[in-house]
Amino acid sequence: MTEEIVRLKNVHKQFGSNHVLKGVDLTIHKGEIVAIIGQSGSGKSTALRCMDHLEIINEGEITVCGHRLASGIKHQALRQLRTEVGIVFQSYNLFPHLTVEQNITLAPRSVLKMPTQQARKTATRVLAQVGLQDKRDMYPEQLSGGQQQRVAIARSLAMGPKLMLFDEVTSALDPQLTGEVLRVIEQLAADGMTMVLVTHEMAFAMKVAHRIVFMHQGRIHEQGDADVLRNPKTAELRDFVSNGL
């Protein structure tokens, strides 16, 4: 069995009286691509954010890249975790006053203490990965939404992560720009990157993911390969698929 990258065991998360995650169990192995789908409010983005310790769980256990994520996790361990896990959100979160290259080299230089020349070489490599080598000196406002999202992906790749998390990264984009971003993710999949995608792009999930996880009311309701969407076993997934595909 390949190396375990993510393990969630009986994970519960509450926001006040709102019980968002109700005992989630999930294991993801090295090189695996898992797509998490479900209606708004099903807990899929919360589950993803717990994997990067952006949300602190109320109960259960999470281990990511060998780090046990508990409420008392040491600052040093959390820093290490953030170098090993890349996360890309729906909003690109680029610094508007920095060029594309500066956005990408900032974390490698400040967190990894990478020399400037090496950081610039890394920026060149990751920009090539996302097809934006010619945009290195531009500012975010000069780019389309799809290009900004690809820069956000490049910025995460510059840290050399073991795991990439994508939270609805195409939901703010029109279909053409969505295609640009999905092609980059597809290439990462081909290169063997371990990935968890929260997505509403069903056709893409079927094409790229090794496993599709359907969340419903805070629990994993059904999971499997692409066939799970072709032949749902539960009424809830059948309803979701008939609305989403």
Q: What is the pLDDT of residue 61?
A: 92
pLDDT for the residue 79: 83
- Residue 126 placed within a domain: no
60 in a structural domain: yes
Query: Per the structure, how many domains does the chain have?
Result: 1
pLDDT of residue 78: 82
CB burial readout 208-231, b (16+ within 10 A) else e: bbebbbbbbebebbbbeebebbee
Terminal Cα distance for the chain, rounded: 33
What pLDDT score does 65 carry? 92
Domain containing 65 equals 4-93+163-244
CA distance 203 to 188: 17
Q: Which of 56, 51, 35 is nearest to 86 (CA)?
A: 51
For 126-136, give one letter per residue: b (16+ CB within 10 A) or e. Answer: bbebbebeebb
Mean per-residue pLDDT pooled into runs of 10, the chain (245 residues): 89 94 96 94 94 91 88 79 90 93 95 94 96 96 94 94 93 86 91 94 90 96 93 93 74
Residue with tokens 């040093």: 76
Return the pLDDT at 172.
80
pTM score: 0.93
CATH of the domain at 69: 3.40.50.300
- Establish if 15 belongs to a structural domain: yes
Interior CA angle at 62 toward 58 and 68, to 5°?
110
Would you call 74 exposed, middle or buried from its count of C-beta atoms within 10 A (0-12, 13-18, 19+)? exposed
Task: Identify the helix (H) or strand (E) that includes residue 19.
Answer: strand 18-29
Q: Is residue 34 part of a domain?
A: yes
